[in-house]
Amino acid sequence: MVVQKQILERDSVVVKFAGDSGDGMQLSGTLFSDAAALAGNDIATFPDYPAEIRAPHNTVAGVSGFQVHIGKKTRIIGDKCDILVAMNPASLISNLKWLKTGSLILVDGDAFGEQALQKAGYTSNPIEDGSLSSYRVFAPPITTLAKETAMALGMDIKNATRTKNMFCLGMIYYAFNFSLDTPFKLLDKRFAKKLDLALVNKQVMQKGYDFAETLEIFQTTYQVGSVKLPKGKYRNITGNTATAWGLLAAAERSGHKLFLGSYPITPATDILCELAKYKSLGAKVFQAEDEIAGICSAIGASYAGALACTSTSGPGLSLMSEALGLAVMTELPIVVVDVQRGGPSTGLPTKSEQSDLNIALFGRNGEAPCIVMSASSPGDCFYKAYEAAKFAMETMTPCILLTDGYIGQGSELFRIPKVDDLPAITPPVVKPNDTTYQPYQRNPKTLTRQWAIPGTEGLRHRVGGLEKTDVEGNVSTDPLNHAQMVYYRQEKINRIASQLPKLKVEGDKKSNILAISWGGTHGQVGVAVDEINKIGKKIAHAHFSYLMPLPQNTPDILAQYEKIIVCELNSGQFANYLRSQYPQFQYLQYNKVQGLPFTTEELVTVLNNL
């Protein structure tokens, strides 16, 4: 009996690819999200993988996932999935809690052997025991079908087995009525030096597509609404790539060469790798032996006149604290990008948190203030990296940019801007033979000292880590001079507040409840606030991107609300910071420290009960 194919039109759909590390789930998710973007859908992605390079096979600890939310508008990755691709029992059992009732589950029937079931914690086969009756489950012998196709094209049995992710992907493409032209082009590009490997993967993907169509195992397919976007050139971009591009744009706009000195660390390494591609644009990349060497090389590059940066995560930022103090003392511009992860110590290397705010604000000996900013989405990483470079160079002050693993490795559609349309960057560089130059002579309005590039005629000078005499810059232990220099270093940061955008309120501005977010939680809190306002309860939302200094109108906004709740992925660091700055207000908290982003469901529950 031939079943009539039914097409469901949806505003959005959430798909998750899950399997063992090495099953190619990250590649599958990336190819699917790229195809969805090219098909006209908005996208938000979330890679979720273990810290172990090769966790034990078929165990829950070794499950690697990639979640993709596609639709007309996708501000978040989505709470629960409409489709789960599970390559083994462990990936199925670990992701059932993220499935909607009635969801489609596609599993590899070949992987559900007795030993694999036991390792995952099953006492019976869920495909056969009726425990998945709330879902639509398909369990074809994916490994067998993929292996047969690949081996027929001359591939050895070991590598042929590894093509099973391409077979699954072909089936999912059929489920969304996507053309295979896009992934085929992407595979040709990925395996440009191994076209025979590209051919095998394409044939296996085609086989999966044909299998789904011919046997009609998908009685229902999806048609997802297209996003309406302003005209421009778009691409699917991760936060780390956007950060790298923002720094490149700042170097171009400022006229200073870009230098990045960094030690590889999850989840920030991609910034280092991305910038290494752009030597033709003048970017210089140095892979240091550790984080201390990375930031010290950046300080040296800054002294020499470069836009100097380093990228790291929480453990690396800890190691950089003394050198950051040196950059504060010498008043040299550097940008430190901290892609936050779970801590303390090594902690949860591949999981996302907002746990480094305290160290960014206060984690240095003495009075050593830095500018502190945060990015709110993968695309926003571009603009905040650009702004971080602008503020650092124009004020001769180190700037810490906080992103996190969720937005750093997640992706979204990004409209590529023209560099000439970005704000100008004008560092206070001294002109040759300026007879009035003194190392610590300051602009009376901004309190910024000038930048004398070594080798510039007539500007020889010294800087270092000991306290300096105001104006002349000689070493000084004078108590009053020290107090004056401490004041200058903090006050020039405080004065940046006048340049910052005013804090905006979203949601229902007439409410007496204000939800506060910062950094990468913007999308989740914003969507939850929208949902609550739809059901009739009034609530407002304020999101912070500028943390040191805070926007000038912050106390005016806070004074308008009876209840203020701060939502953040830590134990309350921003809430405590607001208490220290504006103690006249009372702050409620909602905190999550699980290495996972907020879900809309949990936020709606919490905010609705206020």
pLDDT in tens, 458-493: 998 888 899 999 999 999 999 999 999 999 999 999
CATH number of domain containing 247 = 3.40.50.970
312 and 411 part of one domain: yes
Residue 230 maps to a domain: no
248 and 371 part of one domain: yes
Residue 484 maps to a domain: yes
Q: Is residue 55 over pLDDT 80?
A: no
pLDDT tens digits, one per residue of 526-565: 999 999 999 989 999 999 999 999 999 999 999 999 999 9
Specify the residue for token string 């040709």: 188
Confidence of residue 4 (pLDDT cuts 50, 70, 90): low
25 and 160 part of one domain: yes
Confidence of residue 262 (pLDDT cuts 50, 70, 90): very high
Q: Which two tokens stand for residue 370?
A: 């830095």
Q: Which of 399, 421, 443 finishes a domain?
A: 421
The gap between the terminal CA atoms of the chain, to the nearest Å, is 55
Q: Which of 197, 224, 251 finishes a domain?
A: 224
Burial class of residue 421 in the structure, from the number of CB atoms within 10 Å of its CB (0-12 exposed, 13-18 middle, 19+ buried): exposed
81 and 170 part of one domain: yes
107 and 241 part of one domain: no
Q: Which of 499, 522, 552 finishes a domain?
A: 499
The alpha carbon of residue 38 and the mean position of all alpha carbons in its chain are separated, in whole angstroms, by: 21
| Sheet containing 546-548: order of strands | 284-287, 258-262, 307-312, 334-340, 399-404, 371-374, 546-548
Total tally of structural domains belonging to the chain: 4
Q: Is residue 3 over pLDDT 60?
A: no
61 and 186 part of one domain: yes
Mean pLDDT for the stretch of residues 364-373 = 97
Which amino acid is located at 491 in the chain? E
How many CA atoms does the CB half-sphere of 267 hold within 13 Å?
33
Output the pLDDT for position 186: 86
Mean pLDDT for the stretch of residues 235-258 = 97
Q: Which residues contact 455 (CB under 8 A, 6 or more apart)?
A: none
324 and 197 part of one domain: no
439 and 538 part of one domain: no
Cα–Cα distance, 488 to 155 (Å, whole number): 67
Output the pLDDT for position 1: 43
Are the beta carbons of 468 and 439 closer than 8 angstroms? yes
User: 522, 531, 610: which is closest to 569 by C-alpha?
Assistant: 522
Residue 229 maps to a domain: no
Mean pLDDT for the stretch of residues 48-75 = 89
333 and 392 part of one domain: yes
Output the pLDDT for position 217: 66
Output the pLDDT for position 52: 81
HEC sequence for 117-153: HHHHCCCCCCCCCCCCCCCEEECCCHHHHHHHHHHHC
398 and 525 part of one domain: no
Output the pLDDT for position 463: 87
Residue 359 maps to a domain: yes
Residue 217 maps to a domain: yes
Are the beta carbons of 494 and 523 closer than 8 angstroms? no
Residue 1 maps to a domain: no
Are the beta carbons of 288 and 263 closer than 8 angstroms? yes
Residue 219 maps to a domain: yes
Confidence of residue 216 (pLDDT cuts 50, 70, 90): low
30 and 101 part of one domain: yes
Q: Is residue 166 over pLDDT 70?
A: yes
Are the beta carbons of 46 and 597 closer than 8 angstroms? yes
Mean pLDDT for the stretch of residues 236-250 = 97
Cα–Cα distance, 384 to 381 (Å, whole number): 5
CATH number of domain containing 72 = 3.40.920.10
User: 569, 550, 555, 560: which is closest to 514 by C-alpha?
Assistant: 560
Mean pLDDT for the stretch of residues 397-419 = 96
pLDDT tens digits, one per residue of 374-396: 999 999 999 999 999 999 999 99
Domain of 539, in residue numbers: 505-608
Residue 170 maps to a domain: yes
pLDDT tens digits, one per residue of 116-161: 999 999 999 999 999 999 999 999 999 999 999 999 999 999 999 9
pLDDT tens digits, one per residue of 188-204: 988 888 888 999 999 99
* Other C-beta atoms lying within 10 Å of the C-beta of residue 418: 9
240 and 213 part of one domain: no
Model-level pTM?
0.95
Q: Which residues contact 556 (CB under 8 A, 6 or more apart)?
A: none
Q: What is the dihedral of CA 222, 228, 232, 233, to 10 degrees?
A: -20
